[in-house]
Structure 1
Amino acid sequence: MEEKSDIVDATDDDRISKLPEPILHHILSFLHAKDAARMSTLSKVWDSAWNSLPYLNFGDKLFSKSKDIPRLLRAVDQALANRKKHKISIQKFSLWLPHYHELCYVSSWINMLIACNVKELKLRVNRPVYEGVLDYNSLTEAIFDAKTLNVLSLDGFNIEMPSDDGMIKFTSLRELHLSDVFLDEQFLQALCTSSCNLEDFSLQDFDGLASFQVAETSLPKLKRVNLKNCPSVFQLVDIASINIEDLKISTIDGNLKVVKITACKALKTLHLNEVAVTDKWLEDLFSSLPNLEILGLLGCEALKMMKITSDELKQLTVFYCSNLISVELDTPNLMKFHYSYDALSTFRLKASVLLEATLYLDPQTNYFEWQSKLTKFLANFNHSKFIKLLCDCDKVIVIPKYLRENLLPPLYGTNILQVCLGNLSNYSVVDIIDSILWISPHLDTLSFTGALRMTMKFIYKDEDASDEDEKPCCASLPWKCWRHTLKKVELQNFALMEQQDLGNYFFANADISEMVEIPGECSL
């Protein structure tokens, strides 16, 4: 923070400086402390507002970019000492120290923050390295006396029980976020006993714990738990909290085999990443958790036969569960589905007609076998109004014409299709669009992202209008394809040569009246 220039009184035209101090505090709360301190040079009003500011955000770059660390340390020290002297309550304090050498300051700052009745504390100190091994920073025991804390975030510390009475006095704590820390079951047990108002608990990149257990009688207000990057030794999650609504668990290597959450009757959202979920565990889950609405399964290698029956499930994500051989979903109210498909032998889906599906198509077999299975898979979504297909290459979605002769178009009821292509091979834009319009023969909107970035909108003839010259190839099917009903095509972001090729394609295959290019800034 810089030296102050001469401070002047607010002028008559300076209406902002005449605002009440709480409003000036609110304005300054959006600034880093360094910038808020600079504002104090504008006038005596702003100087007073800075010196009484209860929000001190020193950010994550101030110390890492400074060439004068001692000056910054003194500035933080002075800011806290001033607030302690004038008995100013601190609502929020945030700081990242890239150098663990200044840890002696941290203990002093925590003592002053507690004296200032700090409500929210976010503190990160980079871990030291001893003989090539990362260690953890010591945390002053004074932190456990912070009775006024509502939100606490710690990063880089060894969190040990207080040595005097072994008591944690987080009676007001609502949120606790621990990252890159060392802690043990004893601390967790003490936390569960003392923090009766805790609602949100996140634990990331931690050591020391082999299990995470919350009894039914502890943490009665707990609503959200996030266990991220659990270590290899972590073997058990057992949560019996009846009010928990959101649970996220991810591991480093998929070793976590035991997750007991059947007592969490209020659970609405569950995300499991690289957890050893078994077929039986998943099937029983929904009978135990009647309110589960959102489920995410990522990298759950133990899962082979997924069977879900639920009237409450609204969102489902299944990605990279590579050993799946069968999926059966009886989920009539499912609205959003994210799935990575690699030619399953069995897939059955019952979902809402308003389903929005995002499908990552990942062929794990030869393209001939893949393409025939793909059309059968996509047919499960034939009534979905919006579908997004993610493909590493255009080969994944270009169905050869000889295969189309013996297959039905799978997405005949889809109105909006978005295709994200990672790479292009030797197929032309016309080849890609021709295949997609066979897959989904009555689209309203087709858009591309990734390697292609373009959009098409299709306008059709009046359904009541008769067409005596209608071609007979779709007569036996339950829909009219674009070839017989297309009236107009609107293009956006296509190159001139692509427009010409598509013009030749559409005028040769449909009785359209016009094809127009819409400027890129317009929305189709």
Structure 2
Amino acid sequence: MEITMQDPVQDEDGDGDGDGDRLSSLPDRIFHRIISFLTLKDLARLSFASRRCQELCNSTPTLSLSNIDLLEPDNILCRLSIYAFLHTLMLDRCSHRVKMQSLSLLWSFQHSLPDEENLVWSWLQHAVDSGVGEFNLDFTGKPFSLPVCVLGCGSLISLVVNTNNGVLQFPSTLSLSYASSSKLRLLTLESVRMEDDIFQQWLPSFKFLKALSLSKVSGMKSMRITSSSIEKLRIASDDDLCHIQIQEVEKLNELYIFCRVNNCGTKSLEISAPNLQRFFWEGFAVDYLCMRSSSHLWQATIDLSLPADQPRRQLR
């Protein structure tokens, strides 16, 4: 989106906030809505149009940022200047205690600049310091490590992470105490690879988590879900995941499983959810199923098939 503005009529202070600047005279909520559609480059341009524009860019409750249109190899100087602007923007928001409702970050680390990942970490930290309520993070180009500040953010309600089948790394178990202050209620991991079980160690620490969605999660052959708070769970996988254990989930009432894994040997599914009410299971049959008593179950839909290369006689 390109920003086209009339030359503003200079006021007595020379700010350019006169009647000629029609955009900056809009109500704040409408201006903030317009900002949510701008590219990062256009946001930088707009913030320098007038003092009023700068104040409104700095005060918008939602930010949607992407570097996808800045990745040309001959565009390094432009990228450096835009990143410097963004860093200043985040610092200014923190210093003025501007409340942030949500931050959406679509970021590619292909042809990344030195310390670019550290820059992104610092922006996430600034968002946390600004009391962010929602993170929508979409990364490509290299493995990405979630900062501890994100997982332990006391104001964060919703976290959505997509690495486009890239590796997502969680902090070590030494940082688990940070999650005790988290109020996270919705966690969605989509198209991510996890090459260790640290995520499973983090999960029980989120005491307020109500909904967990794991879509196209790969890299693990077995997954164990335990939580004292989760009410809705969705697991979708078509690669690697052979063994699923869902245990100690007393509040779970909705469970959705979509698994079509045919590149491993024995497959198993174990469920212990005494208050489960709705159960949907679609995909390939497993060799071992254990589902303990669910006296509250009132709706179940099961649609299973055998992989094309698996003889029926192997199913038990």
TM-score exceeds 0.5: yes
Q: Is the 8 A contact 2:211 2:233 kept in 1?
A: yes
Of the two, which has the highest radius of gyration? 1
The 5 Å alignment of 1:201-240 reads 201-203=212-214, 204-208=216-220, 210-214=222-226, 218-232=227-241, 234-239=242-247, 240=249
Q: Which runs of 5+ in 2 are unaligned?
A: 9-15
Give, in whole Å, the separation in 2 of the partners of 1:60 and 1:12. Answer: 32
Rounded to whole Å, the distance in 2 between the matches of 1:184 and 1:166 is 19
For 1:83 and 1:61, how far apart are their aligned partners in 2? 24
- In 2: Cα distance, 1:219 partner to 1:183 partner: 25
Cα displacement (A) at 1:322: 9.4
SS at match of 1:260: strand
1:90 match: 100
Find out whether 1:55 has 2:65 as its counterpart: no
Cα distance in structure 2, aligned partners of 1:12 and 1:288:
69
Change (3 A) 1:213 1:138: closer
Q: Which residue identity does 2:245 align to in structure 1?
A: V
| Residue 171 of structure 2: aligned partner | 160
TM-superposed CA distance for 1:301, in Å, is: 0.5
1:125 to 127, 133, 139: 139
Specify whether residues 273 and 74 from structure 1 end up closer, same or farther in structure 2 by C-alpha distance, changes over 3 A only: farther
Shift of 1:209: 6.1
2:147 paired residue number: 140
Report if the CA contact (8 A) 1:114-1:143 is conserved.
Answer: yes
Do 2:24 and 2:53's aligned partners in 1 also have CA atoms closer than 8 Å?
no
Amino acid at match of 1:213: I
Provide the rounded CA distance (Å) in 2 between the counterparts of 1:60 and 1:270: 39
1:183-202 alignment runs, 5 A limit? 184-192=196-204, 194-202=205-213
In structure 2, the partner of 1:107 is 121
| Structure 2 residue matching 1:168: 3-state secondary structure | helix
- Does residue 172 (structure 1) correspond to residue 177 (structure 2)? The answer is no
TM-score of the aligned structures, taking structure 2 as reference length: 0.72
Q: Deviations over 1:390-449 (max 9, x none)?
A: xxxxxxxxxxxxxxxxxxxxxxxxxxxxxxxxxxxxxxxxxxxxxxxxxxxxxxxxxxxx
Q: Please give the secondary structure, in 1, of the residue aligned with 2:138.
A: strand
Contact 2:135 2:159 in 1 (8 A): yes
5 Å matches for 1:387-398? none
Contact kept, 8 Å, 1:175 with 1:200, in 2: the verdict is: yes
Match of 1:268 in 2: 278
- With a CA cutoff of 8 Å and minimum separation of 6, indicate the structure with the bigger relative contact order: 2
Cα distance in structure 1, aligned partners of 2:174 and 2:311 = 49
Q: Is it true that 1:243 corresponds to 2:252 in the alignment?
A: yes
Q: Partner amino acid for 2:96? A: H
Q: Return the alpha-carbon distance in structure 2 between the equivalents of residues 108 and 15 of structure 1.
A: 31
Q: Give identity over the alignment, percent.
A: 20
Alpha-carbon separation, structure 2, partners of 1:139 and 1:40: 30
- The CA RMSD over aligned residues, in Å, is 4.0
Pick aligned residue for 1:301 from 284, 291, 306:
306
Cα distance, 1:228–1:73 mapped onto 2, change above 3 Å: farther
Segments of 5+ residues of structure 1 without an aligned counterpart are 129-135, 303-319, 325-524
Q: Match of 2:131, SS?
A: coil
- Structure 2 equivalent of residue 368 of structure 1: none
Paired residues of 1:183 and 1:209 also in contact (CA < 8 A): no
Please give the secondary structure, in 2, of the residue aligned with 1:58: strand
Q: What SS is found at the alignment partner of 1:70? A: helix
Shift in Å at residue 177 of structure 1? Answer: 2.1
> Partners in 1 of 2:17 and 2:178 — Cα distance?
50
CA–CA distance in structure 2, aligned partners of residues 85 and 138 of structure 1? 26
